[in-house]
Amino acid sequence: MPEPTVTQKTPHLESEAPVCFHCGEECSDHDILLDGKHFCCMGCKTVYDLLSSKEMCTYYDLSENSPGISPRSDDGSVKYGYLDDPDIIRQITDFKDGATLRATFSIPSMHCASCIWLLENLHDLQPGVRASRVDFLKKQLTVTWDEEQLSLRMLVEVLATIGYEPQIRLEDIQRGTEKKTQKSLIMRVGVAGFAFGNIMLLSFPEYLATNGDVEAFLRTLFRWLNLILAIPVVFYSAQPYWSSAFKGLRAKTVNLDVPITLGVSALFGWSLYEVLSGIGPGYFDSLAGLIFLLLVGRVFQEKTYAAFSFERDYSSYFPLSATLLEGTGREKSVPVTQLKPGSRIVVRNQELIPADSVLINGTGSIDYGFVTGESDPMLKASGDLIYAGGRQVGPAIELEVVEEVSRSHLVRLWNQDAFTQDREGRYTALANRISKYFTAAILLLATGAFALWAPHGIGTAVKVFTAVLIVACPCALALATPFTLGTAMRLLGRFGFYLKNAEVVERLAAIGTIAFDKTGTLTAAGSSQAEWEGEALSERERSLVRSVVRHSTHPLSVKIHTQLAEEPLMDTGQVEEVPGHGLLGEIEEHVVRIGSAPWVGADADHPVALQSDGTSQSVAWVSIDGEVLGRFRVSNLIRPGLEEVIHDLREEHDLVLISGDTDRDRTTLEPLFGREALHFQQSPHDKLAFIEQRQANDDHVLMVGDGLNDAGALRAASVGIAVTEDVTSFSPACDALLDAESLRRMRKILTFSQRAVRVIAACFALSFAYNLVGLTFAAAGKLSPLVSAILMPLSSITIVIVATGLTTLVARTTLGKPEAGR
């Protein structure tokens, strides 16, 4: 689990500017005052106003810093229209009784105690809400409300208004089964623990008393009670082991659960025989203790990151709704499934194209970065076909749908077998690999001991035979893996590396080749910088440029704007944006033109133009009052610290780069990867094929990617790691999520997993040593219940301590200390 942290935003203390009372952001240009408090925007002020009118300002007292989230200033009334659809309501709500509805929302923006307080007091803010409950670690809010007073859409709108916009995705609805298995496992542990404790108590007289001390009646009673208590342990608590062993045998593999169940049945069978025939107390105490500890190990291993999803497919990437344009020109929000060929839709800035469509109105500037890896937006004109999955960057466009969502190009691509095939079974865990030999060895040893003792009477021989099976039960062996890997997984989580399950650590240790995606993985989507080429601009010129680009949402403008964020803004008279060409602004009698070379009037023989080539989309020329000053050039930057990591990784691993982008960054990447290892313009299928081909040659490939175009490769690889800036946002199905910040720790993470596997091996050696001691007792026919009751828990507990302790120690030496706040 991620450490339960209540993160707080750091206030910008160093700056002079007032800080927003609500969200803690700096109040830059438009300072808004209310009740003597500063606000950065109208949105924040509205939230404060609302909360103070309901006397809910406790919200601000619960956290040291401003806890609020600046609400997005979207036009909510249209956006959530699809929530009125009865079909959608039925799918989203968990429960309905009369007018009472209950639904669970995923709210990624909750981050502190104030959030919990406000969301759980929703009933004071909004009449109609009956109750609301937060699950902070899962970032979920469960609301019960009265449908007659409040519609689902109104509820979601209220949440969005106060800054807690729920992430509504259909995939979130189908999640019940996971919870149930975890619950039943805890119940099994409870039953086993209960029986274990009581059996121990009832066994004490047997341990301590010599014959004749205990009355015969009581002795029989205690034995029978033990027998009764052990039955639910064997048949209820140990049930997962039985079914797993049978499943393994049916698939003709011997997994670790086979020798475990063998030991358990020997223990139970022999004890049953002893009690029924009245010759001894049996080993019920060892039996219950063993199963209890094994189950605890399972709980430890099966803890997962409930807040993250590792199984997402394209459907959770697409939006749930689209803005439909009705015949009368009215906009209406409908579920995407209702889009038919011929429907007219509107797609606004930063919205996804939901279905394959033809552009009718406006200029499309479509960013397919997430789908294809291509980092520059593609320009589209009226009449062009636009595939679903791209993101519009710029003013709103009008489209006509040509294909239903389920039949769109991208969805069909992802429904192909190659992308959905299961990878399970390609890698067998260390424990399962040795269990085959282990089981054979025990059986051999037991038969050997049986043959040796057979001359002394069949009864003794059977006793020795079972004693060997009992002692050799690989309980300690079965504990080593979950405790080591579980601890490793938890520790890695502190470094921003979240695994789907603990087994991934073992697979990581076996990696030979590492394949990287470029866009979004090696280069941060937002980190590219605008470089100025030409004569240095004066301060005044810089602020002129900034004042003009501020009005545009074109990605280049946004980059230039952030680059010049220090410059003061000027009052702009008029700024006109001509899509595909550039910006024209008039400020204080200066005419500023920013855009393509022809737009500003730069000739091909301009000194700057001769410097280097560069694609037309990644440069913006600037002219002021007709004089061409130079241009901004945007290049994707490799994440800081990565060069060093790649250099380190090359020492032990084969590195390759498979990118969907053009090869314009070849010059920067070649020194890092080497010429042979660079593969550009790779389609999702090429990537998948590449990985599969490597895997077929018995190489274990680690794929590091981020977008939908990597989805196939991430699944095909031994380990697929999705890099993400924000762990709660969409990422394709993968084995692990890596915080982009932690990418520079790749080398350390790999070294750590290799050492963790070595810890498992050490634990195995230790447990074999214990087994050897036990076996000498057993083969000599001297395994008394007391010896067994001491030896078995002792070996298990030392393994648990060694496994967790050694892993923590290894983590400290290889990974270092996690940064504060994680």
Partner 1 sequence: MNVIFVLVVASLLVALGFLAAFLWAVKSGQFEDGYTPSVRMLFEDRKKSKQQNTIDNQQEREHDDAK
Binding site for partner 1 (CB under 8 A): 4, 6, 55-56, 58, 62, 113, 116-117, 120-121, 124, 133-138, 179, 183, 186-187, 190-191, 194, 197-198, 201-202, 215, 218, 221-222, 225
Residue 620 neighbours by CB under 8 Å, 6+ apart: 530, 556, 557, 560, 582, 594, 595, 596, 631, 632
Lookup: tokens for 26: 């700096």
Q: How far is the CB of 159 from partner 1 (least distance, A)?
A: 17
Residues 6+ apart with CB under 8 A from 816: 748
Taking the mean position of all CA atoms in its chain, how far away is CA 813?
Answer: 26
Tell me how far, at minimum, the Cβ of 367 lies from partner 1, in Å: 37
Buried b (16+ CB within 10 A) or exposed e, 123-149: eebbebbeebebebeebbbbbbbebee
DSSP 711-735: HHHHHHSSEEEEEESSTTS---S-S
Of 111 and 694, the one with the shorter C-beta distance to partner 1 is 111
Tell the smallest beta-carbon distance from residue 157 to partner 1 (Å): 24
Q: How far is the CB of 495 from partner 1 (least distance, A)?
A: 20
Q: Shortest gap between Cβ of 194 and partner 1 (angstroms)? A: 4
In the bound state with partner 1, the residue whose beta carbon lies nearer, of 193 and 364, is 193
Give buried/exposed letters for 174-197 (b at 16+ CB in 10 A, else e). Answer: eeeeeeeeeeebeebbebbbbbbe
Shortest Cβ distance from residue 397 to partner 1 (Å)? 43
> Residue 675: is it exposed, middle or buried by C-beta count within 10 angstroms (0-12/13-18/19+)?
exposed
Residues 6+ positions from 777 with CB-CB distance below 8 Å: 467, 471, 783, 787, 791
Q: Select from 799, 522, 792, 539 the least CA-distant residue to 649.
A: 522
Number of C-beta neighbours around residue 638 at 10 A: 19
Nearest CB to partner 1, comparing residues 64 and 603: 64
Q: Which is nearer to partner 1, 224 or 437 (CB)?
A: 224
Closer to partner 1 by CB, 202 or 587: give it: 202
Q: Which is nearer to partner 1, 117 or 427 (CB)?
A: 117
Residue 762, classed as helix, strand or coil, is helix
The smaller minimum CB distance to partner 1, of residues 5 and 562, is found at 5
Nearest distance in Å: CB 192, partner 1: 11
Q: What is the DSSP letter of 638?
A: B
Least distance from C-beta 186 to partner 1, angstroms?
Answer: 5
Query: Closest CB to partner 1 among 202 and 811?
Result: 202
The residues facing 189 across adjacent strands are none
- Smallest gap from Cβ 233 to partner 1, in A, equals 12
Between 63 and 333, name the residue whose CB sits nearer to partner 1.
63
Instruction: Give the nearest distance from C-beta 274 to partner 1 in angstroms.
Output: 21
Helix ranges, 622-745 (H): 642-652, 666-673, 684-696, 711-716
Whether the CB-CB separation of 713 and 679 falls below 8 Å is answered with no
Min dist. Cβ of residue 137 to partner 1 (A): 5
Distance in angstroms (rounded) separating the CA atoms of residues 62 and 110: 14
Q: Which two tokens stand for residue 129?
A: 């809400």
Residues sharing a CB contact under 8 Å with residue 271, sequence separation 6 or more, in sequence order:
227, 230, 281, 282, 283, 284, 287
With respect to partner 1, which residue has the nearer C-beta, 117 or 242? Answer: 117
Q: Which is closer to partner 1, CB of 14 or CB of 213?
A: 213
Residue 778 vs residues 468, 472, 543, 693, 793: alpha-carbon distances, Å = 5, 9, 86, 51, 16
Per-residue tokens: 134: 């937060």
Measured from the CB atom, is 51 or 548 closer to partner 1?
A: 51
Please report how close the Cβ of residue 227 comes to partner 1 at its closest, in angstroms: 14
